[in-house]
Amino acid sequence: MKEKLEKERAEWKEERKDLKKQGREVEQELTKTKKKLETAERKISDLRANKENLNANVHRLDKKIARAVDQKDRAIDRAMEKTKKEVNTFEVKQGGIVSNLARDVTQNLVAIGLKPGMVGPAVNTILTAAGVKVKGNLSCTTVRRAIIEGGVAADLQLVEAMKESDGFTSHFIMVNKDGTHKDYFAGLTRAPTHTSQEHPLGKQNSEINLCKLIQLLTGMHSDHAEDQKKLASLLEALKQAWDRELHGEDALLDLGTVALFPLIAKATATVVKNAGGQETWNSLSESEQEAFAKLNPVQQCTIDLFVWSGCQIHKDLNTVKWGAIAMGKWWVDNGVQGPKKLLNKSNKEAARIGGAAGEHAEDVSVGGAIKGTSIAGTLFNHKDNKKGQHDTYRIFFEEKLGHLGTFPDTSNNHFQTHALAAEQLLLHLDLYKDFLLQVKDWKEKRNWSNLEQNLWDALNDIPTLTELAALAVYSQTISVPYVSYIRQNRNQNALDMGPYHQNVLSTCKAVIDNPDLVLGADAFHTPPTLGGDQFHRPEVMYTIHAWAPSLPYLRPLVQWFFTGAYEAWPRFMTKFAEGRKVSELTAEERDCAF
């Protein structure tokens, strides 16, 4: 029993030790926990302090932002006031000199049609209405001086561009620089006569040395008139002559003083003798020719590069003219009554009286499509706004068609206007008749003028309507696609148009051989147009097809119109023929010339 108690006592003591040990460990843990708690409380206190500081900073930033917005608004207001003050003042002069802006405004207003004396009042009126104060005055004298200065500046710009270019063409100056083409307008001048020698570009000006500048002239673009072709030949010869002169000068300067002295002495003696006669030129020409001969063939070709190119749009205009002439001959050759002649007032009176004068009046008078479109243009869109039915016409057709239109300007020489007029007259034939009837009813005497009567007769004449239809068919098939192709790429080289003109010929020939290509039922499914695209105005072709049964001679007239154009096109394509200058030019020379 005693042993059992001692054993239990020993175990109790051991447990007591363990408990004391555990107590000490708990106390240690408790101490550590207290320390952590104290640390956490300090951190919490610091965080609370930081939070208060952050809140204070946020409050301060909120106020700063609010002040910044106000400051920004005030700055914007000040800037706007300043800008408004500057914008609302137009100063004619700056530092006592007319400003560039004032000069630009002056030149632009004159360019759109204002007279110099009207520019100043116009500027004051417009700017005052816009709330802008004008400081200074654009007097008539100031305006005229600004225009002159602008012209001088334009001339200087043009000459500088020509000098820095790789080549340029005449008339509307096309300057070629590093493969980039830029157009300049050199102004319009009236030649004393239609002879090329009297043309301003064909005359040498002894007061201006253009020798070096004309060396860069590589081509000329004009219509196909003979005087323009002759002018191109004169310019080419002038370029070559002046180039030889420059090379001769260089050759003489390279001779040295000893070799040059006899020539100078001889030239001086000649000048003294006859004030510079032919002997002086002869004494220098051999040196000039020798200097040019020393150049290699490639250099000679580049120096002499000059190409004439006829205007592409003039080609279409001229071929339409030939087509109309051929169409007019068909009536005579086939003994068929042609379009009614549309006599002017004097000829109509002479024809009424009869006799030789009456026969002559009948002989010189014409009718047909072109005459009809010319009369319509005179009535509906006369070049003099005080004549004809301008506004009345536009108001009437706006009411009927729902849009404001203007009749093609056939009274001025605009391209394709006669074809466009033919399309208009055919497309709205009944409306044009109604309009003429209303014009008649509006008059006190209920009658037409001679022009109005002639147009009424033309619109009720089957042969004239047939010619209008043939003209419209050619326009939709050839003219419109041709001009569209020419204008679709302003960088297109006129010297590369040879293959395309062959396509024009083949399209014309196809219609000549088979008019059903344009007049048959398949014309809209497989368009026979140049390029194969759909008709530009299919409604015009629909109208012609609808009228075809009542136009018995439409097929042969279409054939003859296309035949006339087909025979005319080669006359304006000669420069593309094999062996001609254009066919022998390299790609670089073509690009340099045009």
Q: Who contacts 502 (Cβ-Cβ below 8 Å, separation ≥6)?
A: none
Q: Do 147 and 38 fall into the same domain?
A: no
Looking at the fold, whether 358 and 250 belong to one and the same domain comes out as: no
Residue 221's φ and ψ, nearest 5 degrees, are -120, 120
Report the distance separating Cα 379 and Cα 480, nearest Å. Answer: 25
The DSSP annotation for 174-210 comes to: EEEETTEEEEE-------SSSSGGGSGGGS--TTS--
Low-confidence ranges of the chain (pLDDT < 70): 1, 83-87, 162-227, 242, 244-308, 310, 412-415, 496, 575-594
DSSP, collapsed to helix, strand or coil, labels residue 451 as helix
Domain span at residue 253 reads 168-310
275: left (phi over 0), alpha (psi -120 to 50) or beta: left
Nearest to residue 185, comparing CAs of 203, 171, 169, 165?
A: 171
Q: Do 345 and 456 lie in a common domain?
A: yes
Residues 21 and 78 in one domain: yes
- Residue 262 inside a domain? The answer is yes
What kind and span of H or E run contains 170?
A: strand 167-170
Q: Is residue 521 part of a domain?
A: no
Domain assignment present for 593: no
State the pLDDT at residue 518: 93
Q: Are residues 96 and 185 in the same domain?
A: no
Q: Are residues 54 and 12 in the same domain?
A: yes
Contact 87, 69 (CB under 8 A): no
Name the DSSP class of 389: S
pLDDT tens by residue, 18-28:
888 888 888 88
Q: Which of 57, 137, 181 is nearest to 494 (CA)?
A: 181
Q: How many CB atoms lie within 10 A of CB 460?
A: 12
471/17 Cα distance (integer angstroms): 131
pLDDT at 500: 83
Distance from C-alpha of 169 to C-alpha of 356, rounded to nearest angstrom: 53
Q: Are residues 243 and 128 in the same domain?
A: no
Cβ(238)–Cβ(214) below 8 Å = yes
**pLDDT of 205:** 43
Phi, psi (rounded to 5 degrees) for 220: -140, 135
How far is Cα 101 from Cα 566, in angstroms, rounded to an integer? Answer: 54
Residue with tokens 């008539």: 140
Q: Is residue 102 part of a domain?
A: yes
Dist CA 98 CA 291 (whole Å): 52
SS3 97: strand
Residue 471 lies in a domain: no
Q: Is residue 321 part of a domain?
A: no
How is residue 554 written in tokens?
């439409």
**Residues near 300 by Cβ (< 8 Å), separated by ≥ 6?**
292
Among 310, 331, 358, give the residue marking a domain's end.
Answer: 310
Say if residues 369 and 418 touch (Cβ distance below 8 Å). Answer: yes
- Measured CA to CA, the distance from residue 39 to residue 33 in angstroms comes to 10
Same-domain status, 44 and 63: yes
pLDDT value of residue 174: 59
pLDDT of residue 292: 47
SS3 415: coil
Residues 205 and 179 in one domain: yes
292 occurs within a structural domain: yes
Q: Which of 54, 87, 120 is the last residue of a domain?
A: 87
DSSP state of 131: T
Tell me: do 135 and 250 sit in the same domain: no
Strand partners, 168: 175, 217
Domain boundary pick from 411, 442, 460? 460
Residue type, 297: P
429 and 408 part of one domain: yes
| Cβ–Cβ under 8 Å, residues 565 and 319 | yes
Which pTM value belongs to this model?
Answer: 0.62
C-alpha–C-alpha distance, residues 60 and 271, integer Å:
98
Which pLDDT belongs to residue 565?
Answer: 92
> What per-residue confidence (pLDDT) applies to 204?
44
In Å, the largest CA–CA distance within the chain is: 182
Q: In terms of Cα–Cα distance, which of 182, 184, 252, 244 is closest to 214?
A: 244
Kindly state whether residue 576 falls inside one of the protein's structural domains. Answer: no
In whole angstroms, what is the distance from residue 309 CA to residue 166 CA?
A: 18
Determine how β-strand 133-135 pairs with β-strand 217-222. Answer: unpaired
Which among 222, 214, 209 has a CA at the least distance from the CA of 162?
Answer: 214
| Three-class secondary structure of residue 277 per DSSP | coil
Query: Roughly how many angstroms between the first and final C-alpha of the chain, as a whole number?
Result: 137
Q: What is the pLDDT of residues 464-493, one digit of tens each?
A: 999 999 999 999 999 999 988 888 877 777
Count structural domains, the chain: 4
**Cβ-proximal residues to 124 (8 Å cutoff; 6+ apart), any chain:** 134
Considering the domain architecture, whether residues 172 and 301 belong to the same structural domain is answered as yes
C-alpha 480/C-alpha 471 separation (Å) is 12
